[in-house]
Amino acid sequence: MENKSAFKDRVKIAVQDDYLQKSVQNAQERFRTQREMAMNDLGNFQEWRNRAQEIRAHVIENLDSYLEQLSENVEKNGGYVYFAATKEEAVEYVTQLAKKKQAKSVIKSKSMVSEEIHLNQALEKLDVEVVESDLGEYIIQLAKETPSHIIAPAIHKNRKQIAELFSRVAGETLSDDTKTLTAFARRQLREKFLKADIGISGCNFAIAESGSVVLVTNEGNGRLTTTLPKTHVAIMGMERLVPTWEDLDVLLSLLPRSATGQRITSYVTAITGPRKHEDGDGPEEFHLVIVDNGRSSILGTRYQQVLNCIRCGACLNVCPVYRHIGGHAYGGVYSGPIGAVLTPLLEGIEKWKELPYASSLCGACTDVCPVKIPLHDYLIFLRQDVVDAKLTPFSERMAFKGFGFAAERKAIYDFSVAMAHKVLKPFSNESHIEKGPGPLSDWTDVKDFPLPPKDSFRSWWKEEKGGDKIGK
């Protein structure tokens, strides 16, 4: 599916889409400015990061025992736990459950893992109506698109486009003011909440010590999804857990701040099993589906820290590449720097060999990551994997072989430096090249390229300072 031209094509479409760029840039602007304010407000950001990284690294290093503790506690609370090794197994479990419950409609609260396993399509095949209750997810569901941002799935859409989508559902032209649009969505979704047979949610964090699932939302849809339908299914990536409530406190201080610049989201919902006798509401059944889908293959590798990710999207909000191409260009479920790292790791480098290059290695992502994943270093490692698998063009491999050879041989290096001027002179006008040959044309299509001056620094030094002795 993924290949070089497909990625390049998506980039070409994205950079020509003014609407997309404006929308993404506005949203990015808002998120990153607010994030900075919220972090300053927290104080000692580095210490918070260190603590968060320690917690996450500890969990990942002891993943098996925490998963065991979590599942024991979920079952103790009266819930069911299912470990899905693959996306197929996860989908099968949920579809079987839907069949058993003779479900006709499912209401969902945002879940990236369910995107990852393509759950909606599988349920729709069974003629089950699936409705996304997160406003952003609802918008892109109507547009038949996938999320373009981890936190704000419809970040790429502007108000006018949303009004068009909603008008189509309403059968009349709706105004594009926020009030009208949110009121329309609320009306639509309220009805879906009430009639849904199953509620499916994601899981921001699972708490091992109590067997609880914690959801972070701004619209209260998480609470409704997990309380109103008779059956609640929570789907989580196998790494998304913390040992204790105390640990949750640290991560919950960083997640919304990193994501949207909020101190805390409007709703933080903690669910511990299905309804109990004394409870006034809640589902009769609770299922927790823990999805591996390639994650365990990352354990013990040099990429292990990628499992620290808490899906805050901060790396997307500061990424200049994401800023200009948006999320869909990345082609996977996860976009931005984390997507460029995670997608090839989960689905194989052969299929996604272009993604590690979708970065200028500026390091803004690594700097902002609340759990200190060395994202841009990982992108370099992935490029090494691409090279080791001999997936780069032959000419490039030869060029770098030549580079390595010349770099350690003074005579050859000196000769190359001396030749640079002579080789490029014919293509230049005095000081610059405006139309370069071969691979240089990728540069000169856009920018002027400096013509190397006749004398290099090393030749000047030799002449002026008389060689490599200590200077005057």
Q: Please, which of residues 389-428 interact with another protein by CB under 8 A? A: 392, 396-397, 400-401, 403-408, 410, 413-414, 417, 420
Applying the rule CB under 8 A, the residues between 263 and 302 that interact with another protein are none
Stretch that binds another protein, among 59-67, 90-98, 243-251, 454-462 (CB under 8 A): 454-462
Q: Which residues does residue 214 pair with via DSSP β-bridges, in sequence order?
A: 205, 270
Residue with tokens 């104080």: 43
The amino acid occupying position 276 is K
Which residues ranging from 308 to 327 are in contact with another protein (CB under 8 A)?
320-321, 324-325
Least distance to another protein, CB of residue 145, Å: 21
Residue closer to another protein, measured from CB, 173 or 384: 384
Chain residues 339-378 in contact with another protein, contact rule CB under 8 A: 356-364, 366-367, 377
- Classify 318 as helix, strand or coil: helix
User: Looking at beta carbons only, is 93 or 378 nearer to another protein?
Assistant: 378
> Whose Cβ is closer to another protein: residue 23's or residue 366's?
366
Q: Give me the torsion for CA of 283, 287, 289, 290, rounded to 10°.
A: 100
Decide: helix, strand or coil at residue 348: coil
Q: How far is the CB of 255 from another protein (least distance, A)?
A: 22
The side-by-side arrangement of strands in the sheet containing 428-429 is: 428-429, 432-433, 449-450
The minimum distance between CB 44 and another protein, in angstroms, equals 18
Q: How far apart are CA 117 and CA 108, in angstroms?
A: 14
Choose the stretch contacting another protein; rule: CB under 8 A; options: 220-228, 246-254, 286-294, 445-453: 445-453
Which one, 143 or 361, has the nearer CB to another protein?
361
Q: Which of 82, 74, 65, 50 is nearest to 206 (CA)?
A: 74
Q: Which of 384, 415, 422, 429 binds another protein (CB under 8 A)?
A: 384
Q: Does 142 bind another protein (CB under 8 A)?
A: no
Q: In 3D, which of 132, 317, 330 has the Cα closest to residue 224?
A: 132
Does position 445 interact with another protein (CB under 8 A)? The reply is yes
Q: Hey, which residues between 161 and 180 contact another protein (CB under 8 A)?
A: none
Cβ at position 13, least distance to another protein in Å: 10
Q: 340 CB contacts (<8 Å, ≥6 apart)?
A: 330, 355, 356, 358, 359, 379, 382
**Count of residues touching another protein (by CB under 8 A):** 71
Judged by CB, which is closer to another protein: 4, or 263?
4
- Torsion, Cα of 342, 348, 354, 357 (10° steps): 50
Of 225 and 366, the one with the shorter C-beta distance to another protein is 366
Coarse DSSP helix, strand, coil percentages of the chain, rounded to the nearest 5 percent: 55, 10, 35
d(CA 97, CA 346): 26
Taking the least distance from each CB to another protein, the nearer of 270 and 398 is 398
By CB under 8 A, the residues from 10 to 39 that bind another protein are: 11-12, 15, 21
CB within 8 Å of 246: residues ≥ 6 apart: none
Interface residues for another protein in 107-136 (CB under 8 A)? none
Residue among 126 and 412 whose Cβ is closer to another protein: 412
For residue 130, what are its two tokens?
Answer: 């699936």
Phi, psi at residue 89, to the nearest 5°? -65, -40
Q: Is 452 in the site for another protein (CB under 8 A)?
A: yes
Measured from the CB atom, the residue of 147 and 356 that comes closer to another protein is 356
DSSP 107-130: EE---HHHHHTTHHHHHHHTT-EE
182-211 mask for another protein (x: CB under 8 A)?
A: ------------------------------
Least Å distance, CB 65 to another protein, is: 29
Q: Is 439 in the site for another protein (CB under 8 A)?
A: yes
Strands 241-242 and 432-433, sheet pairing: unpaired
> Within positions 62 to 101, which residues make up the interface with another protein, using CB under 8 A?
none
For 398, residues 6+ apart whose C-beta sits below 8 A from its C-beta are: none
Amino acid, res. 230 = K
Is residue 6 a contact residue for another protein (CB under 8 A)?
A: no
Residues present in the chain in total: 472
Indicate the residue among 63 and 418 with the shorter CB distance to another protein: 418
Nearer to another protein, 77 or 392 (CB): 392
365, 337 Cβ separation under 8 angstroms? yes
